[in-house]
Amino acid sequence: MPYRPHSEQHPNERIGWLRAAVLGANDGIISTSCLLLGVAAANAGRSELLTAGVAALVAGAMSMAVGEYVSVSSQSDAEKASLDREREELLARPVAEQRELAGIYVSRGVTPELATQVAQQLMAHDALSAHARDELGIREDTAARPVQAAVTSAVTFSTGSALPLLTAIMAPADIRISLLAATSLLFLIVLGWLGAAIGNAPPLRAALRVGVLGAIAMAVTTGIGELLGTAVG
């Protein structure tokens, strides 16, 4: 029977972009809604909310993009340095590296004889890839990608931030705060649920966690906004 590659996908294969996307959107909703609630509680009008919200969206998206790029670039640099060092070791002492690879398979339950055969065949095919995957834990589909992480974070932050911003400028003044808080919490809960579902994690726990923490953050900023509005007014 001819060999057919295994095509099943697992959550860890998309964890990089999923992490950046969920973090970006979640940050956008929480930070912008909290800011707008604080400003609205200080008796600001629609124009002030629009100014504050757009500033929060742009500044937050840039901050997320730069932060993700720097963070993931550091991870990428570390991975490249590890691969360069491993490449040198493979050239300098290939026999010792083969024994090291075989030892990894033995520690995972493979018999020494089979582990040696597997190590020999894998190193004959692509020694660096074998050591990168099994010794260093670096895989092509999960490798750090700084630009992808930065763009994903910026776009998802902007998307998440736009939701409470649109709510704040479109809602009637008399129900603006309550409607903004309610819709932002709904957005957070849905996002938490979807993120967990995509990653095959328990969705209810994730939705409750982000909802409760988001509600606390909104309550704190609303209270501070009311205090400042009263004091300044």
Q: Which candidate, 171, 173, 178, 227, places its Cα nearest to that of 44? A: 173
Task: For residue 128, give every residue at least 6 positions away whose Cβ sits within 8 Å of its Cβ, in sequence order, or none.
Answer: 83, 86, 87, 90
pTM here? 0.71
State pLDDT tens for residues 166-209. 999 998 988 999 999 999 999 999 888 887 877 777 888 888 88
Is-contact 161 28, C-beta < 8 A?
Answer: yes
According to the model, what pLDDT value does residue 196 have? Answer: 80
Residue 197 to residues 11, 69, 88, 211, 218, Cα–Cα distance (Å) = 10, 26, 42, 16, 25
Mean of pLDDT over the chain: 83
Residue 86 tokens, joined: 């491993």
> To 10 degrees, the CA torsion angle through 222, 226, 228, 230?
180
Q: Would you say residue 142 has pLDDT above 80?
A: no
Residue scoring higher pLDDT (156 or 196): 156
State pLDDT tens for residues 23-76. 788 889 999 999 999 998 888 888 999 999 999 999 999 998 898 889 888 888
Is-contact 141 11, C-beta < 8 A?
Answer: no
Is-contact 62 181, C-beta < 8 A?
Answer: no
